[in-house]
Amino acid sequence: MNMISDPREHLVVIGNGMAGMRTVEELLKLPGGKRFRITVFGAEPHVNYNRIMLSSVLAGDKSIDEIVINSREWYEENEINLITGDAVKSIDRGARVVTSANGVTVPYDKLLLATGSRPPRPTYSGPGPAGRLRLP
Ligand SMILES: Cc1cc2nc3c(=O)[nH]c(=O)nc-3n(C[C@H](O)[C@H](O)[C@H](O)COP(=O)(O)OP(=O)(O)OC[C@H]3O[C@@H](n4cnc5c(N)ncnc54)[C@H](O)[C@@H]3O)c2cc1C
């Protein structure tokens, strides 16, 4: 794909998880979805997998291949430029450019942040009775 002469708008997705890829799947079904060429950055080295089933992989009940949602072939078939194992580190909204930890710089027209969330961890004032945390 010749990026320079490609007239489509460039959608950059930060986060290759369930929410980000489901959004891309739905976008591709829309008539207007074809107006984008798409680049996806994923901090993890994997394709998109069902994170909810991760416990089954850790328990040895399933292989990582069995919980893959979108294979590498799916990205290729949909002409999605997938960059794995490389987290986006900065967004320059003025220049409309993202830069990754590996120094990859990609311009965008539309940017989708789908980086998940981290649960807040309560601070605690030290060990309480066995098996309990004492919150301040
Ligand atoms: C073991 C387990 C069991 C679960 N069970 C359930 C359940 O039963 N029901 C339920 O509703 N939910 C469950 N969840 C939660 C569910 O998995 C999450 O709600 C869901 O994965 C959120 O999807 P997401 O795409 O928003 O975020 P994530 O899955 O966190 O995906 C975000 C992705 O973005 C990537 N990323 C983050 N920052 C960057 C960056 N700067 N550059 C590039 N990539 C980046 C991350 O590496 C990650 O791959 C479970 C989670 C786990 C771990």
DSSP-assigned states of every residue in 6-46 = --SEEEEEE--SHHHHHHHHHHHHSGGGGGEEEEEEESSSS
| Cβ pair 82, 40 in contact under 8 A | yes
Residue 133: CB atoms within 10 Å: 12
User: Would you say residue 136 has pLDDT above 80?
Assistant: no
Mutate to test the pocket of ligand 1, among 58, 89, 115, 117 (most ligand atoms within 8 A of CB): 115
Distance CA 72, CA 51 (A): 17
State mean pLDDT over 72-93: 98
What DSSP state is assigned to residue 102? Answer: T
C-alpha neighbours within 13 Å on the C-beta side of residue 65: 0
CA neighbor of 35 nearest in space, from 63, 9, 62: 9
Summarize the confidence of residues 115-128 as an average pLDDT.
78
- Mean pLDDT of all residues in 52-66: 96
What tens digit of pLDDT does each residue of 3-27 get? 567 889 999 999 999 999 999 999 9
Encoding tokens for residue 90?
């900065």
| 42 CA to centre of ligand 1 in angstroms | 12
Q: Is 52 in the pocket of ligand 1 (CB under 6 A)?
A: yes
Residue identifier of the C-alpha nearest atom 10 of ligand 1: 52
β pairing state of 105-107 and 97-100: antiparallel
Mean pLDDT confidence for 62-74: 97
Q: Considering the chain, what percentage of its residues have pLDDT values greater than 90? A: 76
pLDDT number for residue 122: 74
At residue 131, the pLDDT reads 66
pLDDT tens column, 85-114:
999 999 999 999 999 999 999 999 999 999
- What pLDDT, on the 0 to 100 scale, is given for residue 121? 78
Q: Name residue 129's beta-bridge partners.
A: none
